[in-house]
Amino acid sequence: MRVTGTDQWRRIEPPRPVNEWERRALTIILSAPFDGHEHLKAQIANARVFEESPTDPSVMLCVDPTAPRAIASDGRPWSGVVPIELGGHAVDGVPIWALLDVRDGYLYFLDVQRADGAPLPVPPELADMELQRL
């Protein structure tokens, strides 16, 4: 699942650790309680980026498969977008957001976008964004 407007993602070999901005964004999103958020938060420590978008701060993540999986309220491993997002506005007023997608109980995709689909080459200032329930 790649929501950005390009398929020209950069493959990272070997996968790199998450950078400070990515770590902070994941930590903020996972600071709000929902079923499985504690296991997802624990996965940040060993999360790696295996692909990154050339137009925005979106990244594809992989996690050690021996890490505990996040379990949803129905008892199955979490899959899909978590019910929390970071929302804000770019300097030109266009809404921006950061969503976290989980696959089979593991961190998978940090999606950072502008509502108009235009490039977002510089990560937004996290202090200017707010947690919102979806």
Q: What is the pLDDT of residue 4?
A: 46
Domain range list for the chain: 13-133
Per-residue pLDDT, 8: 87
pTM of the model: 0.92
What pLDDT does 93 receive?
A: 92
Task: List b or e across 8-40, with b for residues whose CB sees 16 or more CB atoms inside 10 angstroms.
Answer: ebeeeeeeeebeebbeebbebbbeeebebbebb
**From first to last of its 134 residues, what are the pLDDT tens digits of the chain?**
444 445 689 999 999 999 999 999 999 999 999 999 999 999 999 999 999 999 999 999 999 999 999 999 999 999 999 999 999 999 899 999 999 999 999 999 999 999 999 999 889 999 999 999 98
Please report the pLDDT score of residue 91 as a whole number.
87
Question: What pLDDT score does 1 carry?
Answer: 41
Write the CB contacts of 20 (distance below 8 Å, at least 6 apart in sequence): none
Q: What is the pLDDT of residue 7?
A: 63
pLDDT of residue 134: 86
Q: Is 28 left (phi over 0), alpha (psi -120 to 50) or beta?
A: alpha
